[in-house]
Amino acid sequence: MNLSQLWFFLPACFALNMAFGPNNLLATANAARVGPLKAVLASLGRIAAFIPMIAVAGVGMGTLLTTSMWFFLVVKWAGAAYLAWLGIKLLLSRPQAVEMASGAPQSLWRLMRQEFLVAAGNPKAILIFTAFLPQFVVAEHYAASFTLLGALFLMMELVAVAAYAILGSRIGRYLRGGRTLQWFNRVSGALMLAFSVGIVAMKRPVA
61 burial level (CB within 10 Å; 0-12, 13-18, 19+): middle
Nearest to 119 by CA among 31, 23, 13, 51: 23
Q: Using CA atoms, how far apart are residues 22 and 196, in angstroms rounded to an integer? A: 9
68 vs 96, more confident: 68
Phi, psi of 64 (to 5 degrees): -55, -35
Using the predicted structure, report yes or no on whether residue 100 has a pLDDT greater than 50: no
Using the predicted structure, report yes or no on whether residue 115 has a pLDDT greater than 90: yes
Alpha helices in the chain (DSSP H): 3-18, 22-34, 36-42, 44-58, 64-67, 69-92, 108-120, 123-131, 142-172, 178-201
Using the predicted structure, report yes or no on whether residue 41 has a pLDDT greater than 80: yes
Q: What pLDDT is recorded for position 56?
A: 83
Q: What is the mean pLDDT of the chain?
A: 80
Which tens digit of pLDDT belongs to each residue from 44-64? Answer: 999 999 999 898 888 775 555
Highest mean predicted confidence (pLDDT) among 90-104, 153-167, 168-182: 153-167
Average pLDDT estimate for 113-127: 85
61 vs 79, more confident: 79
pLDDT bucket at 98, cuts 50 / 70 / 90? very low
Q: What pLDDT is recorded for position 68?
A: 63
Using the predicted structure, report yes or no on whether residue 18 has a pLDDT greater than 60: yes
